[in-house]
Structure 1
């Protein structure tokens, strides 16, 4: 019952938020099902939020903080009642954001759609992005990386995961000390643990993999060439390039039962 209640609440919340979304995109996944994405740009905060509800009931949020060059993925995964898990899990993954992988919040805010019911197909499928996450971020100190970490990840009781190399780079650009943010031990290194799907010991930590795909997103701007009134050749923005990218997050789960999808 808790499983069903959470699923209905998440679905209703998603549908309500879609009605106020700046951009709504219908994308067909590999299974032939249509996934509805909402994309919202905030030019004042210089952020972009992309959110969608998967057909398996998982709710995925991709949040980009352009000022801090931080990207946060929050994923709610429904419990498996037949395996004795009824509570949903919430995980947050913080990664470094590369500016050439998504259009700016200002450009995003100017996008308009002529046919919101159309099924969109990305022009390019990027290679899978694999993140081996060996650190856990302290929620109360996450604001050092981005002021949005607390609000987005406050329900991620199973952990806020990051990669040391990413935090080093982000912290250096922000002139911050990333060491104060984290819990860092060898126990958090995925390669030091067996894969959850390969271990029979449900009471020990294991390396868990969680995959998701962003089926459509504006990954760049298109420019055309023309002539101005004086006959000079000029370039101007004339559209966007769209991409798809799948992501793999590999991290240490406290117990095998915290990684039921990776069996």
Structure 2
């Protein structure tokens, strides 16, 4: 479990210039309280959201605003009765939509009056389903975002992406898509059945991982008022909060790495 425990200290290890942090208590549908840690780094233009799920999984959502990339890293506890004494680490690299999260600068300015309060999101957004058809080469992943290597180093053989996302990311980075994909990614053949229907634990199969971000600042609120001259103006007067669940569909090789998908 050393690797799992170590991941809790990820932020302080690779993000020394922290300028804003929130601790949020979000209650899930089962009535359990999930504690989220959200950190903004304005100098790097990044936001990190982390939490320990009720199933024991440790989830990191890392947003790189400059590259328009977000990285989801998930530590999944192993099945000890099958000899899996260490957690499995998986990384999913997706395109980041700027309309889905407030900026790192806005995040850094949020102030927390009551860190023990139970937070309820104002809006539950539609589930995002990612079908990951690429494996990402860790050693070349810096071409997508300079943060992938540090975040996903423990998931060397389990880093996944979408071709459609990589096309959009390469455009935002002003990079040639063919060069990027040939260097940093490999297409996964779409020929495998679902893991729940695959009996042989040594065979590849299509796996699913689900997680929910129970509370996050998804937008800014603006109010109307007047300035010192009496002119009517709009001003920022708060944040909008959302919840979103995500499903990641990818090829696990072998099924032994997808024992939860029954």
Q: TM-score, normalised by structure 1?
A: 0.91
Q: Which residue of 1 aligns with 2:114?
A: 115
Displacement of 1:258 after TM fit? 0.4
- Distance (whole Å) between structure 1 residues aligned to residue 86 and residue 74 of structure 2: 14
CA distance in 1, matches of 2:111, 2:198: 49
Note the alpha carbon deviations across 1:92-133, whole angstroms, 9 max, x for none. Answer: 000000000000000000001110000000000001000000
Structure 1 equivalent of residue 259 of structure 2:
260
Give 1:180 shift.
Answer: 3.2
Alignment of 1:69-218 (within 5 A): 69-177=68-176, 178-187=180-189, 189=190, 192-218=191-217
Give the corresponding residue for 2:59: 60
TM-score (norm 2): 0.91
Equivalent pairs, count: 254
Structure 2 portions without partners, runs of 5+: none
Tell whether the 8 Å contact from 1:11 to 1:53 is kept in structure 2 after alignment.
Answer: no
Specify the alignment match of 1:33 in structure 2: 32
> Which 10-residue stretch deviates more, 177-186 or 224-233?
177-186
Mark the CA change 1:154 to 1:251 in structure 2 (over 3 Å): closer, same or farther.
same
In structure 2, how many angstroms separate the alpha carbons of the residues matched to 1:217 and 1:186?
A: 32
Moved over 4 A (4+): 10-14
Where do 5+ consecutive residues of structure 1 fail to align? none
How far is 1:176 from its partner? Answer: 1.8
Give distance in 2, aligned partners of 1:239 and 1:214: 20
Q: Point out the more displaced range, 62-71 or 171-180.
A: 171-180
C-alpha distance in 2 between matches for 1:205 and 1:35:
33
Q: How much has 1:66 moved relative to structure 2?
A: 0.3
